[in-house]
Chain A
Amino acid sequence: MQEIPLSQILFVSTFLFFIGMYGLFTRRNLITMLMSIELMLNSVNINFVAFNKYLFPDNLDGLFFTLFIITIAAAEAAVAIAIIINLYRSHHSIDVEDATEMKY
């Protein structure tokens, strides 16, 4: 089986990153924004794993970083969901445009 070249994997991860970024910039729904952030994190994970395998096959640093990021992402999701629930309780909406109290 022929190995997939590194460039193609990087292409996928870049693609994934910008999809996440686009979602983050355009969506106004907090849950969707959270999902977009997860996409971006995962694209970074792909990068870590790919570079680890192709450039330093003897080391495990990249893999460990990936595991860390997954853990952090889980914690981050929990905190974010808590914020979202609180926001919903106070504003009856999770649309970011409805929370404008701190605007100039």
Chain B
Amino acid sequence: MSNYLYILWIPLLPLATFVILGLFGRKYLSGIAGLLGTASLLTSTILSFVVAKQYFFVDGKVNGVFQKIVALKYTWLEFSPNVSIDLGIIVDPISVMMLVVVTSVSLMVHVFSLGYMKGEERFATYYAFLSLFTFSMLGLVLSANIFQVYMFWELVGVSSFLLISYYFNKPSAVAASKKAFIVTRFADLGFLIGILILGYYGGTLDIGLLIERFTSVHSTQFLSITSASFLGASMLTWGLTLVFMGGAGKSAMFPLHIWLPDAMEGPTPVSALIHAATMVVAGVYLVARMFPVFSMDETALNIITYVGAASALFAAVIACTQTDIKRVLAYSTMSQIGYMMFALGISKNGGENGLGYMASMFHLFTHAFFKSLLFLGAGSVIHMVHSNEMKDMGGLRKLMPITHIAFLIACLAIAGIPPFAGFFSKEEILTAAFQENKIIYGIALFTAALTSFYMFRLYFNIFWSKEATVAAHAHDAQGHDHGEGPWVMKLPLIILAACAVGVGFVPFSQLVTSDGAALDTHIDVVFSIAPVVLSVLAILLAASFYKKQNGKSDKVANAFGGFYTAATKKFYIDEVYIFITKKIIFPFIGQPIAWADRNIVDGFMLLVAKTTAKIAELIKGLQSGKVQNYALYFFGGVAALSILFIYIWK
């Protein structure tokens, strides 16, 4: 077994970039900030690929099973000999897979931003934040201790906050970043309590030990956590559900998804990073990392399954009605993450029944590539048109041929058309769902068709619909013709498009499975007829609606009536939140607490302060500053003492 310690450099390089650019970037390095960030991430990416090659193809496998390797373990805080917080690096199939995904997508985003963010005033700061974001996510996937996961989890939250509010003079961006931060923070509260429950009963925070203790049915820890119960559910269910709540917040699962569409206020490459590689997949990764424990509890798995499936369907319906292209993509991300979640939920640990787990990770892997491609393509379009609205676009296929082809490939991939990447992973998910739960399979199939429909609605609206002229779009504020963008914006599109075609052929089931042993999967042609045919039909439907401007789509929208309006308004979830916070939490909880704080807590302190001031006012007359008065007091005192000692004391 070789030494994997050099893996430490992968997160440390972006951290160093962040420190350097954060401290000196704006003043001294603004010219080369982008190149510096990209170069350091390129090194990380190369290292990740080296690790992946080493682990998957050289020495990760022992007796046909991939091993969990703890590459580094360092005790950071020791509370007692048994309970300590360790910092560690874990190398196993999913962490290595995530390393590759995070670094390569982040690298593409770095390169793309060289063109997209060119000329921004806070260019260096932007790259510093990107590096921090990448560092946090890399740290998260490598964490060997659940508390360490939590630390990086919060770092991911704070760096997303910084990036979403990058245009901080735009009020909507500030509101969006606050919303993202508060919603995920709220979910993290559940995560923290979940960690504490698991840590309390498990007697450790180390993920490996936790898994070991909670998966053996006869261990004392397992018996104690399952026999303790609260409100009718065992503590294991509670702990896992709360941990999942944290994951649901980060992964934008219903009903904690409200921050995700608003997070589009950040620069578009950042959206690509948030949606493809960092942040939203953190929740899926967390569940996957703790999966052996989750698989011990039926209830928690059911919650994950139904929350995931509901989010997938719900987001897909909303995505059909949105007109802001980035919002469509945001809801599609939510929908795809829903797929990954329910695939985990229906899975079992180990062997043939672990198909859902493997499918979920596979989908995470492929999704990262085509979703980042979609976002970067959208960024390229927005760069051209200077608008996010579909109605401002149309007919762009001739003006931006490369973006057009790349976007088309990404749409085909997400729609699950063979032989693009999404087909393979979605196929595995559907197979797993078909084996375990027919209702979920139905939802998944319907969502898959919806996905194809809204993706091609987007595609046709941007690139077909009406005919555009060059004069209408391709110039910037100064009236210069800037065309499709510089090569640094085209290159990532081309590379990612190649990935979106190619990564489906990675023998994923041989590499990443729930128990490390290779799983034999095959594409069943008969089985894949249904989803592919449905997707193709949905694409044709979208084409008939949107390829040319005609009234068909409006007629259908009118036919749906109230349902369509509700979907356009995102099913009023935001309004429900605002109602709950403004009408219930603020007047009935917030204001009484504020009153108590102002009048009781502050009041008591004010009373103390005022009493002190009053007494001081009373006795400060004694401090007259006149030596004669002092002398008189002194004399009085001496006289009194003399009388006391001479006549009374004796």
Which residues of A line the B interface, CB within 8 A? Answer: 21, 24-26, 28, 33, 96-97, 100, 102-104
Cβ contacts under 8 Å, A33 to chain B: 628
Task: Describe B's contact surface by its main secondary structure.
Answer: helix
Please report the C-alpha to C-alpha distance between residue A45 and residue B639 in the assembled complex, in whole angstroms: 21
**Those of B348-381 within 8 Å (CB) of chain A:** none
In the complex, B626 has a CB within 8 A of chain A:
yes
Give the contacting residue for A24; candidates B620, B623, B624, B628; CB below 8 A: B628
Give the contacting residue for A104; candidates B623, B628, B632, B635; CB below 8 A: B623
In the complex, B561 has a CB within 8 A of chain A:
no
Give the contacting residue for B620; candidates A21, A97, A102, A104; CB below 8 A: A104
Q: Are A103 and B628 within 8 A (Cβ)?
A: no
Q: List 6 A-B contacts (CB under 8 A).
A: A24-B631, A25-B632, A33-B628, A96-B626, A97-B626, A103-B625
Give the contacting residue for A21; candidates B623, B627, B635; CB below 8 A: B635
Cβ contacts under 8 Å, A104 to chain B: 620, 623, 625
Please report the C-alpha to C-alpha distance between residue A26 and residue B626 in the assembled complex, in whole angstroms: 11
Cβ contacts under 8 Å, B628 to chain A: 24-26, 28, 33, 96
- We find that the number of chain B residues with CB closer than 8 angstroms to chain A is 10
Cβ contacts under 8 Å, A24 to chain B: 628, 631
**Those of B142-178 within 8 Å (CB) of chain A:** none
Give the nearest-CB partner of A33 in chain B: B628
For the complex formed, measure the closest distance between the CB of B631 and the CB atoms of chain A, giving whole angstroms: 6
Cβ contacts under 8 Å, A21 to chain B: 635
**Those of B616-647 within 8 Å (CB) of chain A:** 620, 623-628, 631-632, 635
Give the nearest-CB partner of A103 in chain B: B625
Give the nearest-CB partner of B629 in chain A: A25
Please report the C-alpha to C-alpha distance between residue A103 and residue B622 in the assembled complex, in whole angstroms: 11
For the complex formed, measure the closest distance between the CB of A27 and the CB atoms of chain B, giving whole angstroms: 8
Please report the C-alpha to C-alpha distance between residue A103 and residue B623 in the assembled complex, in whole angstroms: 8
Q: Are B624 and A103 within 8 A (Cβ)?
A: yes
For the complex formed, measure the closest distance between the CB of A81 and the CB atoms of chain B, giving whole angstroms: 17
Give the contacting residue for B627; candidates A26, A96, A100; CB below 8 A: A96
Please report the C-alpha to C-alpha distance between residue A96 and residue B629 in the assembled complex, in whole angstroms: 12
Please report the C-alpha to C-alpha distance between residue A25 and residue B635 in the assembled complex, in whole angstroms: 10
Cβ contacts under 8 Å, A100 to chain B: 625
Give the nearest-CB partner of B635 in chain A: A21
Give the nearest-CB partner of B628 in chain A: A25
When A and B form their complex, which 5 residue pairs have the shortest distance between CB atoms, in order from nearest? A103-B625, A25-B632, A25-B628, A104-B623, A104-B620
For the complex formed, measure the closest distance between the CB of B622 and the CB atoms of chain A, giving whole angstroms: 10
14 more A-B contacts (CB under 8 A) besides A25-B628, A104-B620?
A24-B628, A24-B631, A25-B631, A25-B632, A25-B635, A26-B628, A96-B627, A96-B628, A97-B626, A100-B625, A102-B625, A103-B624, A103-B625, A104-B625
Please report the C-alpha to C-alpha distance between residue A27 and residue B626 in the assembled complex, in whole angstroms: 12
Cβ contacts under 8 Å, A96 to chain B: 626-628
Cβ contacts under 8 Å, B626 to chain A: 96-97
Cβ contacts under 8 Å, B623 to chain A: 104
Please report the C-alpha to C-alpha distance between residue A25 and residue B632 in the assembled complex, in whole angstroms: 7
